[in-house]
């Protein structure tokens, strides 16, 4: 998510911000521009940021504030109607919302709203927030937003606009990141600091868990917090995989956290080998940490094609390794006849890894020691990371020996949960439900049988 107000060229700045945040979602992108009269205009479409918006779009998009979003579907599926920001006109003016995270009581709220006559246009949990705001009996817009969000359970970081006023908010547990920045006299909010860097905005601070901020032009005001949660629990998987390594979230430099995971991994699972290679790009920092701690040289043994889009034509004779083959290729000169340590950031289904190990062996690797910069993913995420059902999670039911067998590796080592959490202790306590099964926010819809655990589309 990205939001900006109080500067010139808000559409272009939002485009750039989203461009830097592309790793957070590749399914759809949207920009809503609001003019000085508070009139909102939105353009959104499926695909990457650079494909959805043309220079003409940006030039014709004149306004004083803007809100942007890139989508990665977890709740609600990947249909085009679910693209964000969601923009509606209600009693107080044009309302626009960009939401990151998953509400865990969206279905319950939705059923109650439908009962009262609400007409939903999408299957996205985020639309529930729109209806709650529009139907709130509170007097002020601020109180309506607080009223709506106080009823939401689970994960939500959001950028909301009503007329030309922006609001930035994070749920009381603080699952997803949101940072505040300045650019000249204007203000910027973004999911990660890499979106501030690209527009040369200055980082001010993270939006705190439960915090609701109102921004109008160059005036910023901290409103009353949302009701507090029993504990704060930012998502540790943001540091493991999701966020960009050049970002700082929750006061942590993501690259530093991953390097610390890699160093700890080397301490927990040392092995004699000739080189350390990474599964690029997500594991680069962890692999460098492993190499540093072990003293074994880091080499670029796997290459990644950066131009792989979401859709490509699958040849008729495609084998089961096709998905990985199109993305990765080993460097034969580095791996041939050698004992290699391969570091990946996480093991989810094990499908990519199985193919990678096969490629490395075909390229002549003598031994393949797989090292994972996080514990086994054993439980699905209900707070906004696309983690499949337990049946598909290789770490949910398989022992290390069984996974070694399935992947065909010489050895396998996961970072321990304790080792991971200790490495980033200062920024915690974290939500580690995908590793531990300890869900920090109630899973209302599931407990009430309103939603089944489904396998979300491809990891
Ligand atoms: P696996 O080998 O388990 O099939 O896939 C593991 C790889 O998936 C790792 O390289 C990790 O970086 C990546 N990964 C982890 N979580 C996600 C996710 O939510 N989405 C995508 N696209 N990749 C993920
Ligand atoms: Mg990866």
Encode pLDDT of 87-136 as tens digits: 999 999 999 999 999 999 999 999 999 999 999 999 999 999 999 999 99
Q: Tokens for 430, please give them.
A: 């974290």
Specify the CATH class of 255-307+317-436 in words. alpha beta
Could you tell me if 410 and 368 are in contact, meaning their C-beta atoms sit under 8 angstroms apart?
Answer: yes
Decide if pLDDT at 316 tops 80.
Answer: no
Distances in Å between the Cα of 429 and the Cα atoms of 48, 209, 232, 379 are: 34, 12, 7, 19
Q: How much distance in Å is there from the Cα of 155 to the middle of ligand 1?
A: 21
Stretch 347-369: mean pLDDT, rounded? 97
Instruction: Select 2-233's CATH number: 1.10.3720.10, 2.60.40.10, 3.60.20.10, 3.10.129.10.
Output: 3.60.20.10
Going from N- to C-terminal start, the domains of the chain cover: 2-233, 255-307+317-436
pLDDT at position 459, please?
Answer: 31
Residue 331 CB contacts under 8 Å (≥ 6 apart), including other chains:
299, 300, 301, 302, 303, 363
Ligand 1 atom with the shortest distance to the CA of 356: 2
pLDDT of residue 455: 42
Q: CA neighbours within 13 Å on the CB side: how many for 343?
A: 40
Please give the biggest Cα pair distance in the chain.
72
Please tell me the predicted confidence (pLDDT) of residue 437.
96
Q: Residue 10 is inside which H or E element, if any? A: helix 10-20
**Model confidence pLDDT, tens digit, residues 13-27:** 999 999 999 999 999
Terminal Cα distance for the chain, rounded: 21
Residue 5 phi/psi, 5-degree rounding, is -155, 155
Q: What's the rounded Cα separation, in Å, for the pair 357 and 367?
A: 10
pLDDT in tens, 187-243: 999 999 999 999 999 999 999 999 999 999 889 999 999 999 999 999 999 999 999
CB-defined site of ligand 1, < 6 Å = 241, 279, 282, 344-353, 385-386, 459
Q: How far apart are CA 316 and CA 112, in angstroms?
A: 48
Q: In a mutational test of the pocket of ligand 1, which residue from 22, 348, 351 has the highest number of ligand atoms less than 8 Å from its CB? A: 348
Ligand 1, atom nearest to 458 Cα: 22
**Two domains, one topology: 2-233 and 255-307+317-436:** no
């Amino acid at each position: 998510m990205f939001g900006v107000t109080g500067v010139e060229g808000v559409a272009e700045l939002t485009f750039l911000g989203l461009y830097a945040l592309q790793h957070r979602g590749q399914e759809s992108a949207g920009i809503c521009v609001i003019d000085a009269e508070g009139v909102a205009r939105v353009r959104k479409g499926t695909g990457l940021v650079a494909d959805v918006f043309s220079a003409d779009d940006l030039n014709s998009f004149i306004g004083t504030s803007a809100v942007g979003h890139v989508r990665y579907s977890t709740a609600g599926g990947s249909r085009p109607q679910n693209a964000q920001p969601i923009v509606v006109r209600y009693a107080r003016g044009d309302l626009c919302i960009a939401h990151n995270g998953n509400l865990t009581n969206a279905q319950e709220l939705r059923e109650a709203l439908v009962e009262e006559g609400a007409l939903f246009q999408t299957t996205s949990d985020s639309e529930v927030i729109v209806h709650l705001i529009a139907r709130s009996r509170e007097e002020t817009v601020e109180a309506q937003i607080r009223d709506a969000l106080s009823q939401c359970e689970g994960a939500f970081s959001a950028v909301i606009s009503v007329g030309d006023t922006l609001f930035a908010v994070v749920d009381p547990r603080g699952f997803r990141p949101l940072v505040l920045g300045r650019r000249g006299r204007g203000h910027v909010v973004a999911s990660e600091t890499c979106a501030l860097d690209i527009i040369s905005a200055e980082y001010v601070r993270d939006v705190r868990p439960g915090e609701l901020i109102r921004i109008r032009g160059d005036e910023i005001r901290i409103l009353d917090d949302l009701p507090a949660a029993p504990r704060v629990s930012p998502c540790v998987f943001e540091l493991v995989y999701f966020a960009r390594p050049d970002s700082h979230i929750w006061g942590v430099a993501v690259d530093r956290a991953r390097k610390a995971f890699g160093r700890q991994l080397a301490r927990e699972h040392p092995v004699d080998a000739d080189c350390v290679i990474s599964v690029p790009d997500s594991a680069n920092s962890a692999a460098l940490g492993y190499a540093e701690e072990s003293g074994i040289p880091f080499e670029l043994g796997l290459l990644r094609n950066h131009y792989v889009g979401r859709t490509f034509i699958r040849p008729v004779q495609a084998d089961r390794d096709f998905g990985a083959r199109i993305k990765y290729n080993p460097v034969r000169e580095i791996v041939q006849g050698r004992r290699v340590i391969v570091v990946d950031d996480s093991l989810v289904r094990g499908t990519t890894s199985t193919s990678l190990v096969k490629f490395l062996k075909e390229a002549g690797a003598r031994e393949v020691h797989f090292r994972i910069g996080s514990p086994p993913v054993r439980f699905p995420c209900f707070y906004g990371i696309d983690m499949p059902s337990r049946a598909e999670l290789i770490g949910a039911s398989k022992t290390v020996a069984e996974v070694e067998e399935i992947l065909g590796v010489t050895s396998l080592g996961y970072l321990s949960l304790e080792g991971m959490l200790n490495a980033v202790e200062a920024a915690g306590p974290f939500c580690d439900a995908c590793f531990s099964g300890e869900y920090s926010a109630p899973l209302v819809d599931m407990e009430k049988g309103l939603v089944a655990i489904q396998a979300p589309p491809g990891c």
